[in-house]
Amino acid sequence: MNQRNYNDIDDKELLQRYYSDNNNDWLGILLQRYTMLLLGVCMKYLKNEEDAKDSVQQVFLKVINDLPKYKVEFFKSWLYMVTKNYCLMKLRDKGKYTTELNEKSMATADDTDSKIAAVEKDTHLNNMELAMEQLNVEQKLCVTLFYLQKQTYQQISDNTGYPVMQVKSHIQNGKRNLKIYMLRMQPNE
């Protein structure tokens, strides 16, 4: 592949090219595009530059191995979650999130179930946050005001200047789009 500038090709097209011909050069362009993001995420969690750099390389290898298993729609969001999960697993393996075992901290089945539920809820909320970023400005604003700030249609209309019917439309379309984005973020079984 010649060395031309691929900055004008968006992530979605690079992913389509990768999926169509399984050429890792396309994936390399995507990974290079987000190297600094990955380094930042790793630094945030690991607090050590050498560990962060090593982890970025490990995430690259993980992505090369795992990407063919999934139909990824939003590469940046997916890559962020892979990196975050890798860092959390690394911290867990190093013992950063473990405590000394004693009778009070021994996990019962109920504790384990609640921890699993908490992790699943955290993952779901992270995915929801990433999905919210995919909405257009009007939908994101109206959905946030309605569901998170519990404002009425009229209050949203007064605050945004949108007619009430447009507010309802933005909320309905935003909710539908969120469901679509959330389904796309689930790995194919």
Distance from CA of residue 24 to its chain's centroid?
A: 22
> CATH code for 110-189?
1.10.10.10
- Is 173's pLDDT higher than 80? yes
- CA 73/CA 40 separation, integer angstroms: 23
CA 118: distance to chain centroid? 17
Q: Which residue has the higher pLDDT, 113 or 181?
A: 181
Give CA separation, 160 vs 76, 131, 154, 156, in Å: 30, 22, 10, 6
pLDDT at position 54 = 94
pLDDT at 170 over 90: yes
Fold observed for domain 1-98? Rna Polymerase Sigma Factor; Chain: A (1.10.1740)
Q: Are 21 and 40 in contact (CB under 8 A)?
A: no
Average pLDDT of the chain? 82
Phi then psi for residue 84, to 5 deg, are: -60, -45
List pLDDT tens digits, range 68-98: 888 888 888 889 889 998 998 888 887 755 4
- State mean pLDDT over 147-158: 89
- Does position 102 have pLDDT exceeding 50, yes or no? no
108, two tokens: 């019962």
The residue among 80 and 101 whose pLDDT is bigger is 80
Contact between residue 163 and residue 138 where contact means Cβ atoms under 8 Å apart: no
- Taking residues 144-154, report their average pLDDT: 88
Contact between 154 and 179 under an 8 Å Cβ cutoff? The reply is: no
Across 85-112, average pLDDT: 60
* Percentage of the chain exceeding pLDDT 90: 33
Annotate 71-87 with three-state secondary structure. Answer: CCCCHHHHHHHHHHHHH
Can you give the residue ranges of every domain in the chain? 1-98, 110-189
